[in-house]
Chains A and B, each alone.
Chain A
Amino acid sequence: MDQTPGYHGRYLRIDLSSGISKSVSLEASFLRKYLGGSGLGVALLMKEGTATVEPLSPEAAIAFVFSPLVGSPLTTSAKFAVVSKSPLTQRINDSLASSGFALTGKKTGHDAIVLVGRASRPSVLVIDNDQVRLEPTEDLRGCSNPETQKKLRSRFGADFQIATIGPAGERLVRFSTISHDGRHAGRGGSGAVLGSKNIKAIAVRGTQRVQWSDQLALVRLAKELSEKSFGPATAKYRELGTASNLLTFNRLNVLPTRNFQQGSFQGASAISSEELGAVRNRTRASCAACTIGCEHLYSLKSGVPVRLEYESLFALGPLCGIDDSEIVLIASQRCDAAGLDTISSGGTIGFAMECAERGLIDAPWLRFGDGNALLRALDLMVSGEGLGQLLAMGSRAMAMEIGHDSIEFAPQVKGLELPGYDPRGLQMMALGFAVGARGADHNRSGAYEVDFSEAVDRRNVGPESAHLAVETEDRAALMDSLILCKFLRGVFVDFFHESADILRLVTGWDVTAAELRETAQRIVTEKKRFNILAGWTPSEDTLPTRMLQTAIPEDARSSLSTDRLASLIKAYNLARGWSEEGWLPEAEQCTL
């Protein structure tokens, strides 16, 4: 059978316990159903039975998944998904990262790399085309991500691309990341999953390329897309970076501040991208094969440049009451080096700060606004010393330990800490957070786009608009499976149609927009099915009690009742064709 262009038609399955690896073929029909990235990843994890096992056990699989677009000339397509069961949420977790690891990983001749088992000692997994081996890495124990990548690059040479975990992943911090070239598969603790397998790093090298169905037309289309990517739809990302959201959100009183006790922050101007750009050196960077280049780096006083995005800025700044930009940059740099998800780190520390202020934990040093306390808490999180053990569990597990109803103000859904959008003032996003398969998440649901439009009154969203959240979630599922960067989404007029055009040129399939809509829905449903097998119940589709019982203090109209959220969730479930509570129709319950 001829190979489908864009794919190798196989994945590499490595059992780290036995040392046995094998190539497993992937049928074209299966690929067409799940595409790649997140979609293919969740389907492979379902095949492995990972939903019902402990995420940090040897039986749990973790998948590094490429996509049909990886390696093509399409801008922002050099991405890979890391899919596993999250040790933070016990639910599906898919996180994406970019660059050379995606390009070279696919050139090993596989559409995905699936790891199961546990290496007998800390190791680097080397995948050199079809050759697989484990090399001991005792010498790298405790090394930061940049150090590890530097040492392994000099050990293996520049034609290897390397993904690593930092000390946080080694210590199984439940929200540790996997890092590659300064970018992170960030949310949900995939770093801990890799750490539990005794894998400090994966080094890939490959020479196997895929064909494209219509190379000439694809190059033409890629050129057009690149030209559009220089237009107004991406100007914010190119010229200012996502950090420029801070002042906008602050103005709208939806900037989570001091563990969601406020919606605006007095010190916002001092740490805004505008101020940072005025007083610090700023440089720009981009992922491989990207024409947008949204990454903005600001120099520390020492001159060292640090990447800073909105999510890191809000979580390590206002959420912890910090208005010192030097501290925020140092904190962000420490998270990147250690391999900590910045949102969950800031979210958990902000929560701990409130617990300390209420006298629920014995940590008088941990106060909102104290930059040194933030840095100390981050260090403890990584070392596991003292309070660090609690902090490393994330806010939900921490609240369970502390008791005293602290779960009511733990800033999480399904255990995943909320990103920088106060859901009381962005109620379509509130729905997206509540029903999100991986928890409170702004990447798998782009529902905030609806809040920032005329389509709804963001502070009074009704169930008749729930289908708009479905639409943004489906679009995200398709983007994460094709894979294309979300920051490109503004350049598409009709994303499903244009994606079908792209996929036709890549694969030769006679795919249509309608088919891709179905594919996106199938992927969202597959994640739900995973979660149901993992123990999901309707009660977890909700928001922290604080969000449902108090308005944002600066804006009384930004309040969301339990009843209204319930009506939104019910409408969302029905719009998906699920039961009112969110169960799948019986026929779809447990099939793959």
Chain B
Amino acid sequence: MLDRPISSPIHLVLRPLQVTVELFGIPRLRAGVSQSVADGSTLGEILLDLSRRFPSLGKSCIEGCNLKAGYIANLRGERFVTDPETELNEGDIVLLMSLDAGG
């Protein structure tokens, strides 16, 4: 347990986090890897970090802290998210994929 006053902002103590990112479809093709790690405590932050690590992924799928139209993120295979403010936890897994999963 962390020994800190209740009022102390958590992010000063815990951030930044490292999360695992799994890539599918076009994001995988652009990054050239199926999995990576990224630093950040929100979805937006890890997208920024991914853009730095994989410029071609950043160029085609990411715009600043957001995913471009046509792409979506999923947390741990459980919940689809697009809001860059979505908070992440240490050890989280973020999936990046094409939004349109049909075929």
Q: Are A449 and B100 in contact (CB under 8 A)?
A: yes
Contacts of A356 in B (CB 8 A): none
**Can you list, as one digit per residue, whether each of A341-378 has a CB less than 8 Å from chain B (1) or not (0)?**
00000000000000000000000000000000000000
Contacts of A579 in B (CB 8 A): none
A214 interfacial by beta-carbon distance below 8 Å: no
Contacts of A239 in B (CB 8 A): 26, 29
Q: How many residues of B contact A (CB 8 A)?
A: 29
Question: Interface segment, A104-112, A248-256, A580-588?
Answer: A248-256
Give the Cβ gap from A205 to chain B, nearest Cβ, in Å.
33
Q: Are B103 and A454 in contact (CB under 8 A)?
A: no
Q: Which 3 A-B pairs have the closest CB atoms?
A: A242-B103, A232-B70, A310-B103
Give the Cβ gap from A91 to chain B, nearest Cβ, in Å.
23
8 residue pairs A–B, Cβ–Cβ below 8 Å? A232-B26, A233-B70, A236-B70, A244-B24, A274-B28, A448-B102, A459-B78, A557-B78
Q: Are A249 and B26 in contact (CB under 8 A)?
A: no
Q: Are A240 and B29 in contact (CB under 8 A)?
A: yes
Q: Are B25 and A252 in contact (CB under 8 A)?
A: no
Q: Which residue on chain B has the smallest CB distance to residue A240?
A: B25
A446 interfacial by beta-carbon distance below 8 Å: yes
Complex CA gap A486/B102 in Å reads 9
Give the Cβ gap from B35 to chain A, nearest Cβ, in Å.
11
Q: Are A251 and B22 in contact (CB under 8 A)?
A: yes
Contacts of A245 in B (CB 8 A): 25, 101-103
Q: Which residue on chain B has the smallest CB distance to residue A455?
A: B80
Give the Cβ gap from A419 to chain B, nearest Cβ, in Å.
9
User: Given A235-B98, A239-B29 in contact, is the A490-B70 Cβ separation under 8 Å?
Assistant: yes
Contacts of A237 in B (CB 8 A): 103
Contacts of B5 in A (CB 8 A): none
Q: Are A236 and B79 in contact (CB under 8 A)?
A: no
Contacts of B69 in A (CB 8 A): 232-233, 490
Complex CA gap A114/B81 in Å reads 48
Contacts of B89 in A (CB 8 A): none
Q: Are A452 and B29 in contact (CB under 8 A)?
A: no
Say what secondary structure dominates the interface of chain A.
Answer: helix
Complex CA gap A232/B80 in Å reads 19
User: Given A236-B100, A251-B24, A490-B100 in contact, is the A453-B70 Cβ separation under 8 Å?
Assistant: no
Contacts of A236 in B (CB 8 A): 25-26, 70, 98, 100
Complex CA gap A490/B72 in Å reads 13
Q: Are A452 and B99 in contact (CB under 8 A)?
A: yes
Residues 19-38 (chain B) with a chain A CB within 8 angstroms: 22, 24-26, 28-29
Say what secondary structure dominates the interface of chain B.
Answer: mixed
A501 interfacial by beta-carbon distance below 8 Å: no
Contacts of A449 in B (CB 8 A): 100-102
Contacts of B79 in A (CB 8 A): 454, 457
Complex CA gap A311/B99 in Å reads 18
Contacts of A458 in B (CB 8 A): 80
Contacts of B81 in A (CB 8 A): 454
Complex CA gap A253/B61 in Å reads 24
Q: Which residue on chain B has the smallest CB distance to residue A249?
A: B101
Q: Are A446 and B24 in contact (CB under 8 A)?
A: no
A529 interfacial by beta-carbon distance below 8 Å: no
Complex CA gap A457/B78 in Å reads 8
A442 interfacial by beta-carbon distance below 8 Å: yes
Contacts of B95 in A (CB 8 A): 248, 251
A247 interfacial by beta-carbon distance below 8 Å: yes
Q: Which residue on chain B has the smallest CB distance to residue A252?
A: B77
Contacts of A453 in B (CB 8 A): 72, 80, 99
Q: Which residue on chain B has the smallest CB distance to residue A493?
A: B69
A309 interfacial by beta-carbon distance below 8 Å: yes
Residue in A248, A274, A454, A489 whose beta carbon sits within 8 Å of that of B101 in the complex: A248
Give the Cβ gap from A265 to chain B, nearest Cβ, in Å.
15
Q: Are B24 and A248 in contact (CB under 8 A)?
A: yes
**Can you list, as one digit per residue, whether each of A261-280 has a CB less than 8 Å from chain B (1) or not (0)?**
00000000000001000000
Q: Are B97 and A248 in contact (CB under 8 A)?
A: yes
Q: Which residue on chain B has the smallest CB distance to residue A420?
A: B103
Complex CA gap A12/B69 in Å reads 44
Residue in B26, B61, B77, B101 whose beta carbon sits within 8 Å of that of A452 in the complex: B101
User: Given A453-B72, A490-B70 in contact, is the A248-B103 Cβ separation under 8 Å?
Assistant: no
Residues 66-91 (chain B) with a chain A CB within 8 angstroms: 68-72, 74, 77-83
Give the Cβ gap from A257 to chain B, nearest Cβ, in Å.
16
**Can you list, as one digit per residue, whether each of A175-187 has a CB less than 8 Å from chain B (1) or not (0)?**
0000000000000
